[in-house]
Structure 1
C-alpha cells in the first residue's frame, strides 16, 4: 500500500491541482489512463480549434466574391494540416509532465476504488485522506466498429477521407462538420429533427440553421436505417421521418451524438459514493461526495460540462484543500461558444427557458450594422439578443451570432461579473468603429424596451 496526501484520478484540468499541491509540499498521486492534459488539449477544444483555423482561411477565400474579389483555391494539403495538428498533440504529455515537481508521482493506468479511501491502479494500491475524482466524460460509442467518434479524429492517422457523414446536431458535430466542409471534404450532416444546436436560443439557432445550411449538405429529419461497410466505404440507407429512404455513401462515418460519464470504470459500488440517473457523481456545495474526503469536479459531476467550468472548479477546490476555504463556489453566469461559421456565443437563460420557468423578462434583438467593422464583413445576419429583467435591468441572458462573438461576449461577461446591469454597457465609451461597438445599440435598444415595458405597467 502506497500512502499519499492526495490522490487525483484524471489528469485533465485537475493536473493544475496536482501542480499546486506538489508546490505546497503535499505528496500527490496523479492517475491518468490516457494522455496527460485530458480531453481538451488532446482530443477536444484545442486541436479542434487548430483545425477550424484552417477552415476559416479556406472559407474566407471561397467567399471572397462578396467583397468583389475573384479568388480560387488551387489545393489544400489536408495531410499537412493533420500533420501539424498531430505534431502539437504529440507534445502534450511531456508538456504537462514537466509541470510537476518531485512531490507528484504519475501513475499511467485506470484508477478504481477498492474502498472509500483506497484506489487501485494497475497492480498497486494507493491510499490518501483526500481523493479527487476528475475523470471527465467520453463520447457515446459509435454503433458501428468502423465509425468514428470525436476521439478518433485526434490524432487522425492514415488516409484522409474524401467524404464524411456526421451524425449529430450539437456543437461538436457542427464544429467538426465546419472543419471538414471548410477544407474541401464532401460533408453531410445528419440531423434527426428540424432543429440544429437546439440548446441555443431559438431565434439564434434559426439564424444559424439558415446560414450553416449554405455551407454543406444537411439532411434534417433523417437517421441511419442500415449501415454496411465494404471496400473502405460506408453504404448507408437513410430514412426520413416521412418514411422515405435513400442510399448514401461516404468514406468516413462520424457519430457526435453526445458524451457520457466515465464513472462506470471507477467501481463505485465498493464505496458509499452515490451517482444520479445519468451516471454522474453526486456532491455537496464543497464538491464532496457521500464518501468523506472524496471530491468530484468537472464533467464527472455532470453539472457544467465545459472546460472553463472545470478549470474554475479545480481552482476553487484547491482553495478548499490547500487553504482551508469553507466558502462554496457559485457561478454567477456560465458562458459558452460554438466556434463554427457562423460563430455563436451565449450566456444565461434562453427565451424558451424563460417562458418554461415563467421568468419575467423583456427581449431586444439588434443587428450589428451600426458598427463599420461589422459592416466591413459584408454579412447581414449577425445579431445580439438580450433578455433583461425589467425590474432592475439585470442581464438574464445574452446571445450573439456573428464573427468573433466569443470575444465580444467577454464585454457582457465583465458587466455581469462586476455589477450586472445592462445600462453599464449602454453608458460605456467605445473605440470607434470597433466590432464591439455593435453592443452599444444592442444595449440602448434593451434599455428602451425596459423603459417602454415599465411605462405600460
Structure 2
C-alpha cells in the first residue's frame, strides 16, 4: 500500500504530526505496536505526576503541625485507588487519540511492529507499506544493566502496576526517574534506599544543587548510598538481596522490591535500520540534521529516539520543527531550542540552558546570581524554604546563559527565565522589572542586582 506519509509510533510528536498531515490532505498511515500515546501518556508524565500528587497530599497531611494544623489518627495510603485513578487518566488519553485517528478519513491506524525493508518501505505483520515521507517516533525504554538477570526487578513501567506498598524499595540509579519514585514511595510508607555508582545524585547538575537534593532526600528518611560500585542482585528467601561495593568488601541490602532506574535507551535496535541509509550513533540514537532529517533524505526522526531531548516538550517541539518545513512560512530549527527540563521531586528542580559546571568547562566568562530559598519571604510564609535559585549571565553580552532553580514552584517560575532567553534580551530587563509580592519570583529581579563573577 502506498501512503503520502507514514508515521511509526504515537508518542508526543506522532499524533500531532499525523493530524497536521491529514488536515493538509496527506493520506497518512500511523503504525503503533503498543498502547497509543507513547511514554508520556502510558508510563511517563501522566501516571508519574498523578503519583507525585497523591504523595504530596500524604506528606502535607502528615507534616503540617508547624503551621498549626494537626490531624488525629494515621494517614492511610490506598495504592489500589491511586493506581485506579492513574489508569483512568491513561484510558481517557488513549481513547482521545483513538478517536482522533479513527475519525479522520485521511488517517489509517495500523497495529503492529514496523520494520524497514528499504528507505521507502516498512513491513508490519507481513504487509508492506510505502511512502516518500516516513517519520520515526518510536521513543525509548529503560536500560537494564548486567547483574540483574535472575531477579524480578521493576522498571519505571512495571512499578506503576504495583497494588501493594513495597516494604523496602531499593532503587539502583540516582537520576531523575529514581529521585521521583524514591520520594513518592517514601511518602507512601516504604523504606527506600538509593544506590548510585557516582559521587553525586543527578550527575548533570552543579555540585551544590546535587548536595542539597541529597540532603532533602536524607532528611525525609531516604537512605542515599553514593559511590556504590559493582551492584548486582540475587534472589533471597524473603525477597531480593542487592549486593554492592564488592571491591572494597561486599555490602548488601535486603529488598522487597528493586527498581532499576539506570537511564534509557532508544527503541531503534529492531527497526530494520540496517536495510536503509539511516545512521545511528554509538548509543543507538538516530542521527538527524537541523530539520530532524535523518541520513536518508525521505526519513525524519522525532522524539526520544533522536537523542536531541528526552522530554515530552522537546518531542512536541520536534513536531513543530518538522511541521514548519512542511506547511508554515516561518521555519523552525533544532538549533533554535534552549534545553529545559524539570525533575518533579518536592521541591522540584528546574533547569534551562547552561549551569555553572558547563560554563566552566567551556571557559565562558560569566557571572552568577544566587538566592537561597530561606531568604525569600513567600517561601518562609509557606514553610517551604529548602533550595536555592541560580541565574547565569554572560559577562560580555549581559545575556542569560541559563538558570537552575531548586525550590517550591520552581517548575513554574523557571519560565520567566526561559522566555527572557528566547527574547534574547539582557538580564537587566528582568532585573528592572516589578514582580508581584508576595511570590517566589518577586526575588528574581532582586537577586540580579549584584551578580558575582564565576571563578
Question: Is the TM-score greater than 0.5?
Answer: yes
Aligned to 1:229, what secondary structure does the other structure show? strand
* C-alpha deviation, 1:441, in angstroms: 1.9
* C-alpha deviation, 1:435, in angstroms: 2.2
> Is the contact between residue 224 and residue 236 of structure 1 (CA under 8 Å) also seen in structure 2?
no
Q: Residues 100-126 of structure 1, C-alpha deviation per residue, up to 9 Å, x if partnerless?
A: 312111111111100000001112100
Aligned to 1:26, what secondary structure does the other structure show? coil
**2-side partners of 1:79 and 1:136: how far apart?**
28
Alignment pair present for 1:125 and 2:124 = no
* C-alpha deviation, 1:10, in angstroms: 0.9
**2-side partners of 1:103 and 1:17: how far apart?**
13
* C-alpha deviation, 1:221, in angstroms: 2.1
**2-side partners of 1:435 and 1:394: how far apart?**
22
Aligned to 1:272, what secondary structure does the other structure show? coil
1:405 corresponds in structure 2 to 410
5 Å-filtered alignment, 1:75-224, equals 75-100=76-101, 101-141=104-144, 143-144=148-149, 145-154=151-160, 156-215=161-220, 216-223=222-229
> Is the contact between residue 139 and residue 258 of structure 1 (CA under 8 Å) also seen in structure 2?
yes
CA 1:344–1:264: 2 relative to 1, 3 Å: same
CA 1:131–1:226: 2 relative to 1, 3 Å: closer
> Is the contact between residue 164 and residue 186 of structure 1 (CA under 8 Å) also seen in structure 2?
yes
2:4 corresponds in structure 1 to 5
CA 1:138–1:131: 2 relative to 1, 3 Å: same
5 Å-filtered alignment, 1:209-288, equals 209-215=214-220, 216-223=222-229, 225-230=231-236, 233-239=239-245, 243-288=248-293
Q: Residues 371-418 of structure 1, C-alpha deviation per residue, up to 9 Å, x if partnerless?
A: 432111334433111111111211112111110101010111121122
Query: TM-score by structure 1 length?
Result: 0.92
| Structure 2: segments with no counterpart, 5+ residues | none
Query: TM-score by structure 2 length?
Result: 0.92
1:66 corresponds in structure 2 to 66
2:363 corresponds in structure 1 to 358
**2-side partners of 1:413 and 1:83: how far apart?**
36
Aligned to 1:391, what secondary structure does the other structure show? coil
CA 1:437–1:326: 2 relative to 1, 3 Å: closer
2:46 corresponds in structure 1 to 46
**2-side partners of 1:103 and 1:308: how far apart?**
26
Alignment pair present for 1:385 and 2:390 = yes
Aligned to 2:291, what secondary structure does the other structure show? coil
**1-side partners of 2:229 and 2:81: how far apart?**
33
5 Å-filtered alignment, 1:287-436, equals 287-323=292-328, 328-369=333-374, 371-436=376-441
**1-side partners of 2:340 and 2:423: how far apart?**
15
**1-side partners of 2:81 and 2:287: how far apart?**
44
**1-side partners of 2:332 and 2:199: how far apart?**
44
**2-side partners of 1:47 and 1:185: how far apart?**
19
Question: How many residues are paired up?
Answer: 446
* C-alpha deviation, 1:438, in angstroms: 2.4
**1-side partners of 2:433 and 2:347: how far apart?**
27
* C-alpha deviation, 1:442, in angstroms: 1.7
Give the aligned CA root-mean-square deviation in angstroms. Answer: 2.1
CA 1:77–1:11: 2 relative to 1, 3 Å: same
Q: Residues 269-314 of structure 1, C-alpha deviation per residue, up to 9 Å, x if partnerless?
A: 1011111111111122221112121111121111122211110111
Which sits farther off after the overlay, 57-66 or 97-106?
57-66
**1-side partners of 2:233 and 2:435: how far apart?**
55
* C-alpha deviation, 1:70, in angstroms: 4.0
> Is the contact between residue 168 and residue 190 of structure 1 (CA under 8 Å) also seen in structure 2?
yes
> Is the contact between residue 11 and residue 303 of structure 2 (CA under 8 Å) also seen in structure 1?
no
**1-side partners of 2:303 and 2:364: how far apart?**
28
| Structure 1: segments with no counterpart, 5+ residues | none
**1-side partners of 2:207 and 2:193: how far apart?**
23
* C-alpha deviation, 1:205, in angstroms: 1.4
> Is the contact between residue 368 and residue 438 of structure 1 (CA under 8 Å) also seen in structure 2?
no
**2-side partners of 1:234 and 1:57: how far apart?**
30
* C-alpha deviation, 1:222, in angstroms: 2.1
**2-side partners of 1:332 and 1:304: how far apart?**
10
Which sits farther off after the overlay, 310-319 or 228-237?
228-237
* C-alpha deviation, 1:147, in angstroms: 0.5
> Is the contact between residue 30 and residue 106 of structure 1 (CA under 8 Å) also seen in structure 2?
yes
1:55 corresponds in structure 2 to 55
> Is the contact between residue 336 and residue 345 of structure 1 (CA under 8 Å) also seen in structure 2?
yes
**1-side partners of 2:290 and 2:231: how far apart?**
45
